Structure 1
């Protein structure tokens, strides 16, 4: 998976996507999404590394089976918190 941490106004925004999705675009009805290198391409990370980083994140954006699976495994979301865009699992988590 690719893991990239952005700092925005002093808050950590974590972007994680499955490696095979980087650079691809998906459309589903009126929704159009591009998994850009600018936002998602950071370090290649293992499942345990991603789960560790998710524990301290204020905002998280996840695309793909493995990436979303990490959030489920860590208890941050459940199946109801996932949407699918062109069949690809996606989740956003915001900690207030």
Structure 2
């Protein structure tokens, strides 16, 4: 997985994606949602990390953007994302969370 942390005025923004989705675009079957996993947002300055590093980063995040089956599964399994709120986009998964 590729992980980027950015400190913002509102807290830590975490972006995580599966390696194989970087540079790809995905659309919901109904066409109401789409995402492009850009190098600028998900790849630039990214570290290749394991599940433990993703969990650590998500535990400190104020906001997270997550793309890819493995990445979203880690977030679900560790309790950061509820599976029923995950978008299925052309064979991959996307989730976001905001800690308030």
State the SS of the aligned residue for 1:55.
helix
Cα deviation code 1:3-35 (max 9, x no counterpart): 001122151000000000001112331433210
Unaligned runs of 5+ in 1: none
Instruction: Provide the C-alpha distance between the structure 1 equivalents of 2:15 and 2:72, rounded to a whole number of angstroms.
Output: 11
Q: How many residues align?
A: 96
Q: Say what the alpha-carbon RMSD is for the aligned residues.
A: 1.2
| 1:6 and 2:10 matched | no
Instruction: Provide the C-alpha distance between the structure 1 equivalents of 2:82 and 2:32, rounded to a whole number of angstroms.
Output: 25
2:51 maps to which residue? 47
| TM-score, with structure 2 as normaliser | 0.88
Change (3 A) 1:30 1:77: closer
| TM-score, with structure 1 as normaliser | 0.91
Instruction: Provide the C-alpha distance between the structure 2 equivalents of 1:83 and 1:76, rounded to a whole number of angstroms.
Output: 15
Instruction: Provide the C-alpha distance between the structure 2 equivalents of 1:26 and 1:83, rounded to a whole number of angstroms.
Output: 11
State the SS of the aligned residue for 1:77.
coil
After the TM superposition, which parts of structure 1 deviate over 4 Å for at least 4 consecutive aligned residues? none
Deviates more, 1:11-20 or 1:69-78: 69-78
Tell me, yes or no, if the aligned pair for 2:2 and 2:16 is still in contact at 8 Å: yes
**Shift of residue 87, structure 1, vs aligned partner:** 2.6
Instruction: Provide the C-alpha distance between the structure 1 equivalents of 2:85 and 2:3, rounded to a whole number of angstroms.
Output: 20
